[in-house]
Structure 1
Amino acid sequence: MARKVSNRRRVIMSIIAWVMAFLIFFPILWTIILSFKTEGDAIRAPLQVLTSGWTLESYHTVFERSNYFRHFMNSVVISFGSVFLALVIAIPAAWAMAFVPGKRTKDVLMWMLSTKMMPAVGVLVPIYLMFRDWGLLDTRIGLIIVLCLMNLPIVIWMLFTYFKEIPNDILEAARMDGATLGSEIIYVLTPMAIPGIASTLLLNVILAWNEAFWTLNLTAAKAAPLTAFIAAYSSPEGLFYAKLSAASTLAIAPILILGWFSQKQLVRGLTFGAVK
């Protein structure tokens, strides 16, 4: 029997949730506010910042100094490309571990996840040298490959969790009807797992979009995404807070909009399996 929750407790919990949400969102909100201020106003005290005038000067400067749309397209191609490539590899791998389980399945999953525990800088030199020798430095395809490999353990783990919820009897019925292995994965398993695949895709697109370490170290100009676009406004002469905030706002705006319209899928992806 479910425990009854009083109105007072519900109100208190709602207030706490809104306060926590505001604290989490405040850095983004402050960045957006600073982007509409001049450099002089951006370094004032908070109350003075809020009462000072509003201007689009920083946005004009950013568009004049940088090719925003080229960086934006690089981010789109690299983030979505890396996730689609990861899905092509992860779907068969997750299927094998979910429906043809072995004694070492859990060990393999933990080994894949453990690769995320090593600092990325530990493999920077060998990867940089390989990319240099193979002509992949400052190319979209190079970043797609490295971000695919970086997110692949998470993609496989999430898909494995979704696939385990699909009844094995359905796949056995498809086999009895003469479905081949490829047909089983493409025409039976994948359509049933569309919500899980969509959640996995959205979450890992956000991770790839925000990746800075590899994009800053493996690109220069041609394939530089929006993370490199933001870094360009941090110079030895100091931080230009208003311009940096404008560049950051332009970089995070697309992913914020995507996250807003797909929040149900994201919540499902983050909480799937928590409640049976």
Structure 2
Amino acid sequence: MAIVAQQTNFSRIFWPTVAWVVALIFFFPIFWMVFTSFKTDADAVKPEHLLFFTPTLENYANMTQNYDYWRFATNSVVTSVFATAFTLFVGVPAAYAMAFNPSRHTKDILMWMLSTKMLPAAAVLYPMTFLTKNFLGIFDTHFLIILVLSLINLPIVIWMLFTYFKEIPKEIIEASKMDGVSTWGEIKDILIPLAWGGVASTALLCFIFCWNEAYWTVRLTTTDAATLSKLIEGNRAPEGLFFGRLSAVSTAAVGPIVVLGWFCQKQLVQGLTFGAVK
């Protein structure tokens, strides 16, 4: 009994300590970014001012007054919200069809969709830029960014929703069909209410992925549809990186999504673990 009690006490101390250490390791880059945002560009690169310096809000004032932060933030919100809505608009019916009306090619289609995530983005950058600039005329528009973000996240959204929809008994859908409910009625009145937790967590993850997307939003925009990723990239110059201003802009960019993730962590964990436990 003493050995068991000793092991239990050791586990109660050891594993929480490991968890705190891992959490601090992951949190430290965010802390240091926020910490550096209160330094001037000169102090940010001086070793003697690594920890001790005079805090300043100059970087934040410069960001709002000279860099038009709110315009970039508005573009990020608009593109992320509409891309998430469009992705769900397409993904929910697609996942419904694959979950409740599967064919012998359903698994192949799911694997094909997932394989598109393995394509290097740089491989299609030039043709995408060339077509959108010279033929379609939609370069640097909200429509283009929304479309690209939707297509990027659609495979993941369909996979998550498909996994969650498979957990719903087919008898419920079959009973609604016998009652004469239309396909749209099944999705709107039966499937979504039953799977609301899964749909909400999927939408949250999709929104985070859209907000954090940097490769395409930087390369397919210049001014009109530029998001916060473009604003962050703009703090790079031939002289080097302006670490103080860069940290302030990065803090303002990741702050909203970090707060959202903190308050919705339960839904995030649920969305990432769909179908993991049977």
Interval containing the TM-score (normalised by the shorter chain):
over 0.9
SS at match of 2:225: coil
1:204 aligns with 2:206: yes
SS at match of 1:50: coil
Aligned partner of residue 223 in structure 1, secondary structure: coil
Q: Deviations over 1:174-216 (max 9, x none)?
A: 1111101111111111111111111111111111111111111
Normalising by structure 2, what TM-score?
0.95
Other-structure match for 1:158 = 160
Give runs of ≥4 in structure 1 deviating > 4 Å: none
Cα shift readout 1:202-254 (whole Å, capped 9, x = no counterpart): 11111111111111111000100000011111111111111100010011111
Task: Answer whether contact 2:64 2:70 (CA < 8 A) is retained.
Answer: no
Task: Report the CA distance between 1:126 and its aligned residue.
Answer: 1.9
Pick the aligned partner of 1:231 from 229, 233, 242.
Answer: 233
Q: Quote the Cα distance in structure 2 between the aligned partners of 1:202 and 1:191.
A: 17
CA shift at 1:97, angstroms? 0.7
- Where does the alignment leave 5 or more consecutive residues of structure 1 unmatched? none
1:212-227 correspondence runs (5 A): 212-227=214-229
SS in 1 for 2:139: coil
Within 5 A, what are the aligned runs for 1:77-88? 77-88=78-89
Per-residue CA deviations over 1:252-274 (Å, capped at 9, x if unaligned) read 11111111111110011112222
1:79 is matched by which residue type in structure 2? Answer: S
1:130 maps to which residue?
131
- How far off its partner does 1:168 sit? 0.6
Give the number of aligned pairs.
273
The answer as to 2:72 corresponding to 1:37 is no
* Aligned-partner Cα distance in 1 for 2:157–2:128: 22
- Aligned counterpart, 2:170: 168
Q: Give the Å deviation of 1:163.
A: 0.3
Q: Deviations for 1:46-90, whole angstroms, at most 9, x for unmatched residues?
A: x84222221111111222221111101100111111111011111
Cα distance in 2 for residues equivalent to 1:213 and 1:101: 35
Matching residue's letter, 1:91: V
Q: 1:260 aligns with which of 259, 262, 267?
A: 262
1:129 shift after superposition? 2.2
Counterpart of 1:99, as a letter, is: F
Distance 2:234 2:162 in 1: 39
**Other-structure match for 2:121:** 120
Q: Which residue of the partner structure matches residue 49 of structure 1?
A: 50
Q: Secondary structure at the match of 1:51?
A: coil
Rounded Cα–Cα distance in structure 2 between residues aligned with 1:208 and 1:82? 7
Q: Which runs of 5+ in 2 are unaligned?
A: none
User: What is the deviation of 1:25?
Assistant: 1.3
The C-alpha deviation readout for 1:116-157, integer Å capped at 9, x for no partner, is 001011111222222122121111111000110011100100
Percent of residue pairs bearing the same amino acid type: 51
